[in-house]
C-alpha cells in the first residue's frame, strides 16, 4: 500500500497555486484554471466548494467573475490546506486526534506513528502557498539547453 495524498488535494493545491499567482489581480475564471492546469472544470468546481466553505477562496459572479484567495498566500501554510482537502493527517487511525484502539496500552508502534505524523505536519507547516509560488516561478524561469 502506498501512502499518498488524494487527487483532490493535489488538484486543489494546483488550483490554489494558480490563484496565488494572480493574488490581488482580480478574480480568476475556473475555465482558465481548468485549461492551464488540465483539470476538469467540474472537478475544480467540487474542490472550490470545499475551499470556499473553509474560507480559503471566494467567488464573484458575472462575465468578469471568478475565484480569488481570501488571504495573502504567505499566510496559508500547506498543513492547513492539506487538512482542509484531505482531513486529519494520519498514517494510521490510532495516531489521529481521537485515535484509540483496544491495544493502546501494549502497542509498541503507536509512538512511532505519532512521531512520523508530527514530522509530516511539521514539514508541511514550514511551507506557505507563497513559498510554492516562488518555487514555481523559479522553475518556470529555468532554461535548459541541449
DSSP-assigned states of every residue in 105-144: GG-SSHHHHHHHHHHHHHHHHH-BHHHHHHHHHHHHH---
Strands of the chain (E only): list them.
57-60, 66-69
Task: For 9-67, write each residue's pLDDT tens digit.
Answer: 999 999 999 999 999 999 999 999 999 999 999 999 999 999 999 999 999 998 888 99
Convert 62-99 to b/e letters by CB count within 10 Å (16 or more is b): eeeebbbbeeebeebbbbbbbbbbeeebbeeebbbeeb
Indicate the SS3 state at residue 20: helix
pLDDT of 142: 52
Distance of CA 103 to the CA centre of its chain: 33
Q: Please name the CATH architecture into which domain 7-87+128-135 falls.
A: Orthogonal Bundle (1.10)
Spatial separation of the C-alpha atoms in residues 86 and 69, rounded to whole Å: 19
DSSP-assigned states of every residue in 55-97: TSEEEE-STT-EEEESS-GGG-BHHHHHHHHH-S--SSGGGST
pLDDT of 96: 56
* Confidence class for position 100, pLDDT limits 50, 70, 90: low
Higher pLDDT, 94 or 24: 24
Task: Look up the pTM and report it.
Answer: 0.84
What is the torsional sign of CA 41, 49, 46, 139? positive
The answer to whether residue 71 scores a pLDDT higher than 70 is yes
Amino acid at each position: 500500500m502506498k501512502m499518498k495524498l488524494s487527487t483532490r488535494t493535489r488538484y486543489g493545491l494546483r488550483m490554489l497555486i494558480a490563484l496565488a499567482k494572480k493574488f490581488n489581480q482580480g478574480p480568476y475564471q475556473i475555465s482558465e484554471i481548468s485549461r492551464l492546469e488540465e483539470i476538469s472544470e467540474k472537478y475544480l468546481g467540487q474542490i472550490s466548494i470545499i475551499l470556499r466553505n473553509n474560507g480559503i477562496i471566494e467567488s464573484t459572479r458575472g462575465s468578469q467573475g471568478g475565484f480569488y484567495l481570501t488571504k495573502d498566500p504567505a499566510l496559508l501554510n500547506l498543513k492547513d490546506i492539506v487538512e482542509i482537502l484531505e482531513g486529519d493527517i494520519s498514517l494510521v487511525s490510532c495516531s489521529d486526534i481521537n485515535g484509540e484502539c483496544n491495544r493502546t496500552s501494549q502497542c509498541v508502534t503507536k509512538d512511532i506513528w505519532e512521531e512520523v505524523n508530527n514530522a509530516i505536519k511539521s514539514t508541511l507547516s514550514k511551507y506557505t502557498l507563497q513559498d510554492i509560488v516562488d518555487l514555481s516561478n523559479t522553475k518556470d524561469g529555468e532554461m535548459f539547453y541541449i
